[in-house]
Amino acid sequence: MGKYKTEPIKCWDKAKELRTSIYERVAKARDEGKIIVAGGTESMLALPAGYDMEFLGGEPYGASCAFAGKHDPSVCLGFFEAAEAARYPRDLCAYMRLAIGSLLADRYLFGGNYPKPTFNLQTHICDSHAKWYQIMSDIEGVPYHAVDFIPYAWETENELEESKRLKREFLVGQMLDAIDWMEKVTGKEYDDEKFINAVNWECEATNLWAECCMVNRSIPAVMDEKMMFSFYIIAVLMRQRKEAVDFYTELLDELKDRQKRGIAACANEQFRLIHDSQPPWFALDVFRYLEKFGAISIGAHYSFSLSGGWAYDPEQDTWLPAKPPKEAGVELRTREEACEWYAEWILAYHTLLRSLRWSGRGKHKRLLDIVKNWNADGVIIHLNRGCEGTAVGQMELNRFLNDQKIPCMTYEGNLADAREFDLERTLAKIDTFMETLDLKKLS
């Protein structure tokens, strides 16, 4: 008999259905010759939404390939080998290598040939991303546009308002240029109303996901991080769609009900952890192994914040769900107004994207904020060779947490390449970590 009552989350099947529908719609668009836009999923999904289009995002597609590789090694390993045969080295972004390999192999994970996009649109959020889709465009022979991205500095750095204004104006100008470019390469008029709706929905969806994460402050936690991977992905894949808003509205109501009734994600929760970086997608059982000790990962800066939606509150000295336009009392009427709001939203509230460029004091403060406000007892850091961005400053973070007397362990791996992950060694490290915490496996 567990310490807490548990039950399945009712929205689970809906989340799986929405995720699958994205890839099915891309395949259908491929077969029917409709507009497909490809790029990174943090590439301002609302921007191309001025067209009726399907978006194929490289990072979640890579994660899906990695997970599928657990059951069919020819998928993931085959794509890696195709990229390596074309002389793309193993120290590049693992998602990038999987996308290039899938394209070179002309094999779409969800059936048929790799979908050729109408154009590629990418935001340069890290050192790999802009070059990633330049390479894809060169191979595919399709137009390519990159948007430069310079996020606001962390609040710890006291950035001047003039600096923020210049960054915002720069990004707005690039958005407007990108719209003109899309009209040129498609030969079709851009629909401002669709764009404005998409901006509103993206802000609402990410706000709602942040609210869902706030509910997980409760003891016991209503979600564990393994569950979150099936929920946060809706924002990653389709936050610019109304379906995402509807889903998160339903999920938030359910999580609040679970909180009210004391329903737990882990029946024997006794030690709460934060996980740093993406997980090894092919080895998610690591999270279930933690539960053998009554330990649970209740989230991460990554799973909380990948698609934005967090605003810093100086009075409370913490990050809270950012207010979307309607909640802030703002009505977006024109293309320019939507770009102004959207630019500020991305620059100010995408804290995860900020940490891809700048680690140090800001990320340390954000992680400490999560540890304290989500009642975490320790941190596990995945030293992730597959993502240079999330790996920035991880050992400094480890030292900082140790200085704060917060128990912390690291393990080496790769978010997608199983050749760079040792499961037995990782489980042994967890055993040792749990022993230092005086936690024993539950009978």
| DSSP state, residue 1 | -
- In the prediction, which pLDDT does 1 show? 64
**Element counts in the chain: helices (H) and strands (E):** 17, 12
- In the prediction, which pLDDT does 130 show? 80
Written as six digits, the tokens of 146 are 């990159």
Task: Compute the distance between CA of residue 222 and CA of residue 256 in angstroms, rounded to an integer.
Answer: 9
For residue 277, is it left (φ>0), alpha (ψ between -120 and 50) or beta? Answer: left
Average pLDDT of span 129-139: 94
Task: Compute the distance between CA of residue 57 and CA of residue 79 in angstroms, rounded to an integer.
Answer: 17
- In the prediction, which pLDDT does 357 show? 79
| Look-up of token digits 């807490």 | 4
pLDDT band at 35 (very low <50, low <70, confident <90, very high): very high
Task: Compute the distance between CA of residue 174 and CA of residue 186 in angstroms, rounded to an integer.
Answer: 18
Tens-digit pLDDT profile for residues 353-412? 998 877 789 999 999 999 999 999 999 999 999 998 999 999 999 999 999 999 999 999
**Which residues is 274 bridged to in the sheet?**
379
Q: How many residues does the chain have?
A: 443
Task: Compute the distance between CA of residue 113 and CA of residue 411 in angstroms, rounded to an integer.
Answer: 36
Q: What is the pTM of this model?
A: 0.97
| Identity at 88, one-letter amino acid code | Y
- In the prediction, which pLDDT does 62 show? 98
Q: What is the DSSP string of 122-177?
A: EE--STTHHHHHHHHHHHHT--EEEE---PPPPGGG---HHHHHHHHHHHHHHHHH
Quick check: 126 pLDDT over 90?
no
- In the prediction, which pLDDT does 166 show? 98
| Identity at 196, one-letter amino acid code | I
How many CA atoms lie within 13 Å of 380's alpha carbon, on the beta-carbon side?
28
Q: Please name which of 64, 153, 148, 78 lies closest in space to residue 110, comparing C-alpha atoms.
A: 64
Yes or no: say if 222 and 259 are a contact pair by the CB < 8 Å rule: yes
Tens-digit pLDDT profile for residues 11-20? 999 999 999 9
Q: Please name which of 24, 49, 20, 19 lies closest in space to residue 37, comparing C-alpha atoms.
A: 49
Strand 318-321 with 310-313, pairing: antiparallel
Q: Please name which of 375, 378, 382 lies closest in space to residue 273, comparing C-alpha atoms.
A: 378
